[in-house]
Amino acid sequence: MQNSSMTDIIYDYFYSRILFGYFLPGDQLPSISYICRQFQVSALIVRTAFARLREEGMLETIERKGSTVTYRPGKEQGRLYRESFLSRREGMEDICRHSDIIFGSIAQVYMQKKTENSIHQIRTQLKKRKGHPAKQITMFYAEAMQPLNNPLAINLHWEIVRYLRIPYFEAANFGDTGIQAEDHIERMLTLIEAGNAEKAVEVMQAFNRDGPRLFIKGLPFMMNGEPPVEQIPFKWQIYREHPQLCYTLAAELMSKIDAQAYKQGEFLPSCQALAQEYGVSLITMRRTLELLNNICVTETLNGVGTRVLSGKSAGMPKLFQPIQKILVLYLQALQIGALSCHDVAIHTLSSLDDDGYDTLDRIIGRHIEERRAFLLAETCLRFIGGHSPSACVKEFYHQLYHLLLWGHALHFFSQKMDASQTHEAYAHKLRDALSRRDAESFASQYAELMGLFLKGTTLLLLQLGFEEQQLV
């Protein structure tokens, strides 16, 4: 989908469930209030998605009685099943092998923050989904991420569910995998209740290594030697309240500045040249440059052009409401990165040759020489994500990196906190680990840095007037 919005996600989620027979004709959909809590969205977003489903003849809504499924499958349903899954086969297998690198660490947060009420709620939901292991796993992870207070993580979860479509597929015979899934969740909950979160994590990780692979094998046509079809890769569609093109363009330009395609103190190409390069109108590019000026990434000089500001020369950014909302999203991305970066770093570094290690070492060394160690967190995230052997991990971290670029708006304030020595100290520690080819040491040091960065950024936003309930 081109429009990245939660309306699209909810529409597609229920459309697929109706199309694939999870909801049958006459079934009533969950209440709007329940869906709002599940996806962490407003009632307006859910109503808009349901309106689209009504227009397409999928359901009908009666005031005060809810929405009822009206769609009746036809002869084309079998073909739609096959096309939907076969075109995602490679992406599904990749996600099943590697998504735990991201979600394993996130689920651990639940095990640390569990309550008796949350466990009771999960058990209740499990009973409603008895007999369908994929739905149980899907529900467990959705509930487990609630304590994060991170809509971006919830968004990622449902985007993966939407892509996999396994929870919608009723015809698959999962066999013993269903029993394994139910037993796995029950063992985890029992261990959590007993206060043995560490063992619960081990149980979770063991199942996550084997369970998804068995689900894939449960799809009958996956093993039948079907001819190859064009593959649809996984794309993480992120909901933003301000999806205007200028925000996307601003992130692209900040990415080039971060990679030093445009160096500090240098002038960008003219506004007209940039508009031609990106295929946008002149007014759109002017608005983009104005946005970058407002957050003190660039400075436009009348009759001269727009130049890139250094951290030292940058002034006080203008944190307008749209920028504030983006910074909240930035913090959510930073939290996901902080939780997952240890496992991703090991995953990536374990696949690198000596040239890969040396390349990362040179990048960090250049940051030290240029006194730009404050960029260490996002630079390392970009590298370990971009060099991952997994397509889905690459996509996860590509999107996280572009959200982290909005941290440029905080550089003025960050420098006032004088954290440069801390960043430089970690830069030397990371280089030392790389010289020894010690992936575990690098991952531990980087995770520690990201944790400190997350904590410092959260405190900074609170000092700038952000409300605590807005933040992760």
* CATH code where residue 3 lies: 1.10.10.10
pTM: 0.80
How many Cα neighbours within 13 Å face the side chain of 101?
A: 27
**Taking 90 as the threshold, does the pLDDT of residue 300 lie above it?**
yes
Asked if 336 and 383 sit in the same domain, the reply is: yes
d(CA 167, CA 141): 13
Which of 308, 338, 356 lies at the terminal end of a domain, its last residue?
A: 308
Give residue-wise pLDDT tens across range 207-234: 766 666 666 666 655 545 667 788 989 9
- 315 occurs within a structural domain: no
Give the residue, 306 or 322, on which the prediction is more confident.
Answer: 306
Give the residue, 276 or 63, on which the prediction is more confident.
Answer: 276
Residue 411: band (very low, low, confident or very high) from pLDDT cuts 50, 70, 90: confident
Q: Using CB atoms within 10 Å of the CB of residue 3, give its burial: 0 to 12 exposed, 13 to 18 middle, 19+ buried.
A: exposed
Q: Of the ranges 3-17, 63-77, 345-359, 394-408, which one carries the lowest mean pLDDT score?
A: 3-17
Residues 6+ apart with CB under 8 A from 214: 174, 177, 180
Residue 317: band (very low, low, confident or very high) from pLDDT cuts 50, 70, 90: confident
Model pLDDT, residue 81: 66
Residues 6+ apart with CB under 8 A from 171: 21, 81, 220
Strands 298-301 and 66-69: unpaired
Give the residue, 400 or 77, on which the prediction is more confident.
Answer: 400
> At residue 442, what is the residue type?
F
Which of 203, 230, 257 lies at the terminal end of a domain, its last residue?
A: 230
Q: Of the ranges 3-7, 70-74, 132-136, 324-328, which one carries the lowest mean pLDDT score?
A: 3-7
- 342 occurs within a structural domain: yes
d(CA 88, CA 213): 14
Asked if 50 and 121 sit in the same domain, the reply is: no
- 78 occurs within a structural domain: no
Q: Of the ranges 161-175, 203-217, 273-287, which one carries the lowest mean pLDDT score?
A: 161-175
For the CA atoms of 59, 62, 63, 66, the dihedral, rounded to the nearest 10 degrees, stands at -60
Residue 360: band (very low, low, confident or very high) from pLDDT cuts 50, 70, 90: very high
Model pLDDT, residue 421: 77
**Taking 50 as the threshold, does the pLDDT of residue 172 lie above it?**
no
DSSP string for 394-443: HHHHHHHHHHHGGGGGGHHHHHHTT-HHHHHHHHHHHHHHHHTT-HHHHH
Model pLDDT, residue 273: 95
Question: pLDDT over 70 for what percent of the chain?
Answer: 84
Asked if 378 and 295 sit in the same domain, the reply is: no
Give the residue, 73 or 319, on which the prediction is more confident.
Answer: 319
**Taking 50 as the threshold, does the pLDDT of residue 278 lie above it?**
yes
- 341 occurs within a structural domain: yes
Q: Mean pLDDT score of the chain, rounded to an integer? A: 83
Asked if 119 and 186 sit in the same domain, the reply is: yes
Asked if 372 and 432 sit in the same domain, the reply is: yes
Residue 465: band (very low, low, confident or very high) from pLDDT cuts 50, 70, 90: confident
Give the residue, 228 or 66, on which the prediction is more confident.
Answer: 66
Mean pLDDT for the stretch of residues 145-169? 80
Q: Quick one: CA dihedral 24, 28, 32, 35, positive or negative?
A: negative
Q: Are 253 and 268 in contact (CB under 8 A)?
A: yes
Q: Which two tokens stand for residue 297?
A: 């990434």
Asked if 217 and 251 sit in the same domain, the reply is: no
Asked if 366 and 341 sit in the same domain, the reply is: yes
Model pLDDT, residue 155: 86
d(CA 413, CA 438): 34
**Taking 80 as the threshold, does the pLDDT of residue 239 lie above it?**
no
What's the angle, vertex CA 166, arms to CA 165 and CA 170, rounded to 5?
110
H or E element, residue 68: strand 66-69
The residue to which tokens 């206060």 are assigned = 195
Which of 308, 342, 359 lies at the terminal end of a domain, its last residue?
A: 308
Asked if 464 and 327 sit in the same domain, the reply is: yes
Give the residue, 458 or 42, on which the prediction is more confident.
Answer: 458
- 235 occurs within a structural domain: no
Q: What are phi and psi of 267, to 5 degrees?
A: -90, 140
Asked if 263 and 203 sit in the same domain, the reply is: no
Model pLDDT, residue 418: 55
Measured CA distances, 230 to 88, 167, 393 (Å)? 9, 23, 21
Q: Residue 299: beta bridge partners? A: 307
Q: Are 16 and 245 in contact (CB under 8 A)?
A: no
Mean pLDDT for the stretch of residues 225-252? 77
d(CA 462, CA 417): 14
| Residue among 173, 175, 182 nearest 203 (CA) | 182
Provide the terminal-to-terminal Cα distance of the chain, rounded to the nearest Å. 28
| Residue among 410, 407, 444, 408 nearest 429 (CA) | 444
Mean pLDDT for the stretch of residues 253-278? 90
Identify the domain containing residue 342 by its residue range.
321-470
Model pLDDT, residue 176: 59
**Taking 50 as the threshold, does the pLDDT of residue 3 lie above it?**
no
Give the residue, 104 or 468, on which the prediction is more confident.
Answer: 468
**Taking 60 as the threshold, does the pLDDT of residue 175 lie above it?**
no
Long-range CB pairs of 210-213, under 8 A, 24+ apart, other chains included: 211/133, 211/137, 211/177, 211/180, 211/181, 211/184, 212/95, 212/96, 212/97, 212/99, 213/96, 213/97
Asked if 112 and 135 sit in the same domain, the reply is: yes
- 41 occurs within a structural domain: yes
CATH number at residue 118: 1.20.120
DSSP string for 262-318: S-TTPBPPPHHHHHHHHT--HHHHHHHHHHHHHTTSEEEETTTEEEEPPTTT-----
Asked if 46 and 146 sit in the same domain, the reply is: no
Q: Are 170 and 220 in contact (CB under 8 A)?
A: no
- 409 occurs within a structural domain: yes
Most distant CA atoms of the chain, gap in Å: 72
The neighbour count for residue 6, using CB atoms within 10 Å, is: 24
Domain count for the chain: 4
- 240 occurs within a structural domain: no
Give the residue, 37 or 76, on which the prediction is more confident.
Answer: 37
Asked if 454 and 335 sit in the same domain, the reply is: yes
Q: Of the ranges 22-26, 359-363, 393-397, which one carries the lowest mean pLDDT score?
A: 22-26
**Taking 50 as the threshold, does the pLDDT of residue 93 lie above it?**
yes
Region of 282 (left: φ > 0; alpha: ψ -120 to 50; beta: rest) is: alpha
